[in-house]
């Protein structure tokens, strides 16, 4: 518990414990977290009307990968 408080501070640790006390909690790796954030941005850009080719260039991905991300 001390390590949790050191990393996120007491107020955040207290909220986390109140919300998830007694539960098993999965904490993603930073890489996974960054990918999820990137994918949310891609979906938002697509919903705003950005073209697949433009998205592929912006995020340095293939159009096929952009389509796959937008489907999920």
Q: What is the pLDDT of residue 14?
A: 95
pLDDT band at 1 (very low <50, low <70, confident <90, very high): confident
Whole domain around residue 29: which residue ranges?
2-71
The terminus-to-terminus CA distance of the chain in angstroms comes to 35
Q: According to the model, what pLDDT value does residue 72 have?
A: 85
pLDDT tens digit sequence for 6-60: 999 999 999 999 999 999 988 899 999 999 999 999 999 999 999 999 999 999 9
Number of domains in the chain: 1
């Amino acid at each position: 518990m001390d390590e949790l408080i050191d990393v996120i501070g007491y107020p955040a640790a207290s909220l986390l414990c109140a919300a998830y006390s007694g539960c098993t909690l999965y904490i993603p790796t930073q890489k996974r977290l960054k990918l999820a954030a990137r994918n949310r941005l891609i979906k938002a850009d697509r919903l705003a009307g950005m073209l697949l080719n433009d998205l592929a260039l912006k995020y340095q991905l293939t159009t096929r990968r952009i389509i796959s991300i937008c489907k999920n």
